[in-house]
Homo-oligomer: A and B are copies of this chain.
């Protein structure tokens, strides 16, 4: 003598469709089946819920209130299942080029310790939002602040900029360089990686700006084109630390503004542990 979810679904379908027959079609059952389900619901609740005749149908006040509750219950169940399923999925952290640098390992360690049942996947996604916009990741660390209103971002920390030069470049042996020097001697094109804004030509004042640019779309292309001597690049310090390459030398740029690293998450989290993870990132970075 229990009310079940099928009963609530039946009531909702009938209320929305306006007739039992139409609701039955929507639920992919026959009309007699749904009619009986409704009758059974009324019998179990002990109250008439739907005023119906062959030409008329509407809810009684009791039916209307049960419908309201029922919809809420069904929605809650959906949310509960989504929550539960999402919880068993790994939390996917997206990034474009190497970010977090030194802090990455401590972060992973402390997360694994505090949330042993929520595995973390760190995935490279070569697009502006590192997979956030497409739902391929749950959180992301970015070098640009995306415009998408469905993505919340916050500044994490800043890094000095470095130049990436072919190892036979005249400035490759220097301990530091200035922006103006980079565009002078061998007039190499600048390797620009549009998805991460750290190496853009905007760093230079218009007159000194590099005359040519070459677009790349991931770190490997970027390193290769520099190692072969066909371009030079600008990046953040962390990139140099984690992406060594035999043919590329990194030299700090003393007059370039620092680059900001952002932490980004969806406005409506796709993983139930998103908030906790973002807090863990903040702590790892500040500590």
**Residues of A near any B CB (own CB < 8 A):** 2-6, 45-49, 60-62, 65-66, 69-70, 72-73, 76-77, 79-81, 83-85, 87-88, 117-118, 272
Complex CA gap A95/B206 in Å reads 88
Residue contacts A-B, CB under 8 angstroms, 13 given: A4-B4, A49-B84, A60-B88, A60-B117, A62-B88, A65-B80, A65-B83, A65-B87, A69-B77, A69-B83, A70-B80, A72-B76, A73-B76
Determine how close the nearest CB of chain B comes to the CB of A256; give it in whole angstroms: 45
For A117, what are the chain B residues with a Cβ–Cβ distance below 8 Å? 60-61
Determine how close the nearest CB of chain B comes to the CB of A112; give it in whole angstroms: 14
For A69, what are the chain B residues with a Cβ–Cβ distance below 8 Å? 76-77, 79-80, 83-84
Complex CA gap A195/B69 in Å reads 40
Q: Which of B65, B84, B272 contacts A47 (CB 8 A)?
A: B84
Q: Do A3 and B88 have beta carbons less than 8 Å apart?
A: no
Q: Knowing A70-B80, A80-B70, say if A65 contacts B272 (CB, 8 Å).
A: yes
Tell me the number of copies of this protein.
Answer: 2
Complex CA gap A2/B81 in Å reads 11
Q: Do A87 and B73 have beta carbons less than 8 Å apart?
A: no
For A76, what are the chain B residues with a Cβ–Cβ distance below 8 Å? 69, 72-73, 76
Grouping DSSP codes into helix (H, G, I), strand (E, B) and loop, the A interface class, with mixed when no group exceeds half, is helix
Residue of B nearest to A46 (CB): B85
Determine how close the nearest CB of chain B comes to the CB of A104; give it in whole angstroms: 24
Complex CA gap A4/B2 in Å reads 12
Determine how close the nearest CB of chain B comes to the CB of A64; give it in whole angstroms: 9
Determine how close the nearest CB of chain B comes to the CB of A175; give it in whole angstroms: 51
Determine how close the nearest CB of chain B comes to the CB of A14; give it in whole angstroms: 15
For A3, what are the chain B residues with a Cβ–Cβ distance below 8 Å? 77, 81
Q: Do B272 and A85 have beta carbons less than 8 Å apart?
A: no
Which of A66, A77, A79, A117 is most buried by chain B, counting CB atoms within 10 A of its CB? A77
Residue of B nearest to A2 (CB): B5
For A49, what are the chain B residues with a Cβ–Cβ distance below 8 Å? 84
Q: Do B77 and A73 have beta carbons less than 8 Å apart?
A: yes
Sorted nearest first, the 3 A-B pairs with minimum C-beta distance are A69-B80, A47-B88, A66-B84
